[in-house]
Amino acid sequence: MNWQKVVKWRKFYEKKRNENTKPMKYKIAPNFFSVIILLIIGTALFKQFDFQNLKVEKPALAIVYSFAIILSIGFMIKKK
């Protein structure tokens, strides 16, 4: 096998691989649905929190609210 051809093909594949492995860019695009969910659940979680004792009234419900907030933020992040 001709080594010049091997080197030529190797350079070609390295170039293609470098073009295809560009890092993904993420874009935060707030849509109406996610913003409304964040506002409603965020205020509900804020009302449950007791700042004097640093505790929440209903811990299980606070976990569900926190999960919903994280999920709505996840829906706002989109791949470009």
For tokens 């935060």, name the residue: 28
Secondary structure of the chain in the HEC alphabet? Answer: CCHHHHHHHHHHHHHHHHHHCCCCCEEECCCHHHHHHHHHHHHHHHHHEECCCCEECCHHHHHHHHHHHHHHHHHHEEEC
pLDDT tens profile 6-27: 666 666 666 666 555 566 666 7
| Domain residue limits, the chain | 24-79
The 10s digit of each residue's pLDDT in 54-72 is 999 999 999 999 999 998 8
Task: Record the pTM.
Answer: 0.61
